[in-house]
Amino acid sequence: MLLEVAESGPWTWIFSSQSAGWGSFQYEAKYDVLRAAVTPQDAPSTEFLTYGFDERQPASAVAFLQWEKKRIPFKIEVPNVNELYVEQIRKNLLSCPGFNYQNWQSAAQFCADNKINLDQALTWADKAIKEPFRGAVLGHEDFSTLGTKAAVLGAMGRTEQADKLMETAMALPGTDAVDVYRYGMQVLGEKRNTVAMKIFEANRKQHPAEKFWTSLGLARGYTALGDKGKAIANWEMVLANAPENLAGNKPRWQAALNKLKESN
């Protein structure tokens, strides 16, 4: 990569297939791959020649050269970044990363989140749960790994199967009330209020001694369903049992409670 400087008018980025050449001394135009005009920008003084990246996004970034009082940027965009990322995931899982079930889970979750490569993602999710590398390492069945498989099923439009799998996940020993609450909030965010309410109710049944997260779920669920009486009772439980590290949220919860009481 070279930069052609002009006294007036735009400067030119030169991208060459001969990347091993040192500076302009070995440059030959016949190896040019791309030439792009660029307008240099004024910038704070920089003593040393500096390269960097700004405006970093999943599929793009602005690369720049900066020296003295000039900054010369160019934007890099990768339109098929997710496909490239998945291809690299496939390669990685064939080697050392494949011996860790969490890497198979992360791969499946990425595909679910981006709705890409879903058939293979379902296989990856199963490997995370059961056996990533045949005979070499075990998977791990817990709320998290089952949740990833459910996310893949949901991305495939197989919502009923995903819901049934999450029922299994919620009933597993060791499942935390906060994890079930977050799942219920996800379903509530999908406007599936009745299903979310069943999740919040199951959380209270499974964790009867837990007074904060179960109450918070029920408060939000009953509020969404318009059951003011039960919503008020659970918001009061939330406020009475809020942990110290979440005390900063109390004004917001109190406002939700006040709104319900005022509307009675």
Q: What is the pLDDT of residues 187-242, one digit of tens each?
A: 999 999 999 999 999 999 999 999 999 999 999 999 999 999 999 999 999 999 99
Least confident segment among 11-15, 58-62, 211-215:
11-15
> How many angstroms separate the CA atoms of 21 and 42, rounded?
29
Does the pLDDT of residue 14 top 90, yes or no? no
User: What pLDDT is recorded for position 111?
Assistant: 98
Alpha carbon of residue 128 to chain centroid? 18
Question: Which tops the pLDDT comparison, 27 or 83?
Answer: 83
Region 123-137: what's the mean pLDDT? Answer: 90
pLDDT tens digits for 78-94?
Answer: 999 999 999 999 999 99
Across the strands, what pairs with 146? none
Region 153-176: what's the mean pLDDT? Answer: 96
Tell me the average pLDDT of the chain.
Answer: 93
> How many angstroms separate the CA atoms of 180 and 238, rounded?
16
Verdict on whether the full-model pTM lies above 0.85: no
Does the pLDDT of residue 27 top 80, yes or no? yes
Which of 223, 248, 247, 225 has its CA nearest to residue 235?
223
C-alpha distance from residue 247 to each of 47, 243, 257 (Å) = 48, 6, 15
User: What pLDDT is recorded for position 1?
Assistant: 66
Does the pLDDT of residue 149 top 70, yes or no? yes
- 24 and 3 in contact (C-beta within 8 Å)? no
> How many angstroms separate the CA atoms of 89 and 83, rounded?
10
